Amino acid sequence: MITKRIIPCLDVKDGRVVKGVNFGGLQDVSSPVALAEFYSQCGADELVFYDITASSDGRKLFTDILVETAKRVFIPLTVGGGINSVADFDRVLKCGADKVSVNSGAIRNPDLVYEAAKLYGDQCVVLSADIKRVDGEFRVFAKGGREDTGMEAISWIRRCVDNGAGEIVVNSIDTDGVKKGFDLEMLEAVCDAVNVPVIASGGAGKIDDFIKLFQRLPKVDAGLAASIFHFGEVAIKDLKAEMLKANIPTRTI
Amino acid sequence: MVAIVDYGVGNLFSLECSLNAIGAEVTITADPEVLKNADQIILPGVGAFEDAAKKLRATGLDQTIRDLAAAGKPLMGICLGMQMLFDKSYEYGEHEGLGLISGQVVPMQGVIPPSYKIPHIGWNALVFKKDTPLFKYIQNGDCVYFVHSYYAANCDDAVLATAEYGPELTAAVAKGNVFGCQFHPEKSGTVGLNILKAFVEMEGKKC
């Protein structure tokens, strides 16, 4: 039976993890490689590295980190941030990424999803959509959630899936950081619209939020979160033990 | 030394890293002489069947691989590399495979219930069907990472393990010294590394 995936997301700037990380037992808490190894040992099913570096020097540091991670961590690795062209796909895939997530790059250049899917396969292209309710509809936002594109989100997602996006990450700006649970209404609307894997992001504050997510919306494939894992508020081992108790299929190690 | 066949398909970096991590000596090669001298051979592959089969034929390595498999060298296909071991694939048309294991590669579409998503992406549990040295370090029910839209059918005699995705889909196969994994052992954590470890410990005949 296919299992529900738990995915920690690491924001990386100039080769270091940003947003405070607070773990007992981990020496270098801002090393993406050490953190990736730690999460892999805890049972994370996949990792997302999000590159928030602006400079080209920082980009080189980022790909160096991918290489080091690929040498030590043997679970799927998705890379996002600053992906604007097929050349960007090539750059990170060569360094050990398995999937590449596009967001603003796909909004700027709608052919990017199609071109990348044709070259690397649908399974390689993840569409990450930042979505917020505006005037009673779900609206796509660009530039890290700062800019309203005016596009309706469900039709945008459907179009990207038709173009070859193999997975969708739904980031709800409305629930992000609130820690009161995932945006079930938004996620349900996306799940009803497409038949590719859907990854829920934004809003998880405790174990029960994941349990509710998978019980209420069996079509959601994975839950993604950052700070609650980094700060140890939710330990992946405990989360998975609770998922098993609730009869939600999960991989344990 | 384990050799990864380099025929211009997919990214071999992760696979190389995973073999290094278990202490194997690895060579990535398109040289038939190097393949002959290898202890084991891995046939990787990502992408479309037709393109991969054409590239393999264009290098002439298809015959080298058939000869070495027939001579008893341990061979393992991974993902599309596993699908290439079969007689035929029906991915966008009808294409010849290596014919090392009887069976055909067919679409999941229409076979799995409509509520199941395609591709089959994620961690799924192995259901063992046969004893095999390939699984000597892992257990029935261990999860491995899958990414595929086509699967091997009509190959019951060769099936080592399946994974439930509506029906049970072929997850691993073997015929003598020829092995195949539909999933990605190089992306399947410790379980995957243990499968690779069992494979590189296999002794074949020197050719």
Instruction: Report the domain count for chain A.
Output: 1
- ipTM for this prediction: 0.92
Using CA atoms of A97, A103, A105, A107 in order, give the dihedral in degrees to the nearest 10: 150
- What the block records as the tokens of B204 is 């074949």
- Shortest CB distance from B122 goes to which of A5, A71, A122? A5
Secondary structure class of A149 (helix, strand, coil) = strand
- Shortest CB distance from B122 goes to which of A120, A121, A221? A221
A29 assigned to some structural domain: yes
Mean pLDDT for the stretch of residues A163-168: 95
Q: Does position B206 have pLDDT exceeding 60, yes or no?
A: no
A41 assigned to some structural domain: yes
Between chains, do A40 and B189 touch, taking CB under 8 Å as contact?
A: yes
Measured between CB atoms, does A74 come within 8 Å of chain B?
yes
- A143 vs B61, residue with greater confidence: B61
Q: Residue A23's pLDDT is what? A: 55
Q: Residue B203's pLDDT is what? A: 87
Write down the domain spans for chain B.
Answer: 2-200
Q: Measured between alpha carbons, how far is residue A219 from residues A4, B40, B89, B169, B194 in Å?
A: 10, 41, 30, 20, 31
A110 assigned to some structural domain: yes
Measured between CB atoms, does A94 come within 8 Å of chain B?
yes
Alpha helices by DSSP H, listed for B6-99, are: 13-21, 32-37, 49-59, 61-70, 80-83
Between chains, do A72 and B21 touch, taking CB under 8 Å as contact?
A: yes
Placement of tokens 């250049």 in the chain = A109
- Separation CA B74–CA A47 (nearest Å): 33
For B152-188, b/e burial (b = at least 16 CB within 10 A) is bbebeebbbbbbebeeebbbbbbbebbbbbbbbbbbb
Mean pLDDT for the stretch of residues B27-39: 96
Q: Does position B152 have pLDDT exceeding 80, yes or no?
A: yes
- Shortest CB distance from A253 goes to which of B48, B121, B190? B190
Q: Residue A27's pLDDT is what? A: 56
CATH architecture of the domain covering B2-200: 3-Layer(aba) Sandwich (3.40)
DSSP single-letter state for residue A2: B
A181 φ/ψ sector (left φ>0, alpha ψ -120 to 50, else beta): left
A251 assigned to some structural domain: no
Q: Residue A185's pLDDT is what? A: 98
Q: Which pTM does this prediction carry?
A: 0.94
Would you say the C-alpha torsion A89, A202, A123, B6 has a positive or negative sign? positive
> Each residue of A204-220: pLDDT tens digit?
999 999 999 999 999 99
* pLDDT category of residue A192 using cuts at 50, 70 and 90: very high
Secondary structure class of A136 (helix, strand, coil) = coil
Cα nearest neighbour of B126 on chain A: A1
Q: What is the residue range of A53's domain?
A: 5-245
- Shortest CB distance from B189 goes to which of A74, A167, A196? A74
A99 assigned to some structural domain: yes
A45 contact residues in B (CB cutoff 8 A): 122-123
Measured between CB atoms, does A223 come within 8 Å of chain B?
no
Average pLDDT of chain A? Answer: 92
Distance from CA of A53 to the nearest CA of B (A): 24
A174 assigned to some structural domain: yes
Q: Does position B205 have pLDDT exceeding 70, yes or no?
A: no
CATH number at A47 reads 3.20.20.70
Q: Measured between alpha carbons, how far is residue B201 from residues B32, B71, B74, B108 in Å?
A: 22, 18, 10, 33
Q: Does position A253 have pLDDT exceeding 90, yes or no?
A: no
Q: Check B25, B50, B79, B155 and give the catalytic one.
A: B79
Between chains, do A3 and B18 touch, taking CB under 8 Å as contact?
A: no
A205 assigned to some structural domain: yes
Between chains, do A121 and B189 touch, taking CB under 8 Å as contact?
A: no
- Separation CA A49–CA B39 (nearest Å): 36
Q: Residue A124's pLDDT is what? A: 92
Q: Residue A66's pLDDT is what? A: 94
> Each residue of A15-54: pLDDT tens digit?
888 865 555 555 566 889 999 999 999 999 999 999 987 6
The yes-or-no answer on residue B79 being catalytic is yes
- Separation CA A95–CA A59 (nearest Å): 12
Between chains, do B17 and A70 touch, taking CB under 8 Å as contact?
A: yes
> Each residue of B87-125: pLDDT tens digit?
999 998 999 999 999 999 999 999 999 989 988 999 999
Distance from CA of A55 to the nearest CA of B (A): 26
| Of B34, B50, B126, B118, nearest in space to B84 by CA | B50
Asked whether the beta carbons of A238 and B130 are under 8 A apart, the reply is no
Between chains, do B11 and A94 touch, taking CB under 8 Å as contact?
A: yes
A252 assigned to some structural domain: no
Mean pLDDT for the stretch of residues B16-43: 97
Q: Residue B151's pLDDT is what? A: 97
* Count of C-beta atoms within a 10 Å radius of residue A155: 12
Best to test chain A binding among B91, B116, B117 (most A CBs inside 10 Å) = B117
Secondary structure class of B41 (helix, strand, coil) = strand
The yes-or-no answer on residue B184 being catalytic is yes
- Separation CA A223–CA B55 (nearest Å): 38
For B19-44, b/e burial (b = at least 16 CB within 10 A) is bebbebebbebeebebbbebbbbbbb
Between chains, do B17 and A71 touch, taking CB under 8 Å as contact?
A: yes
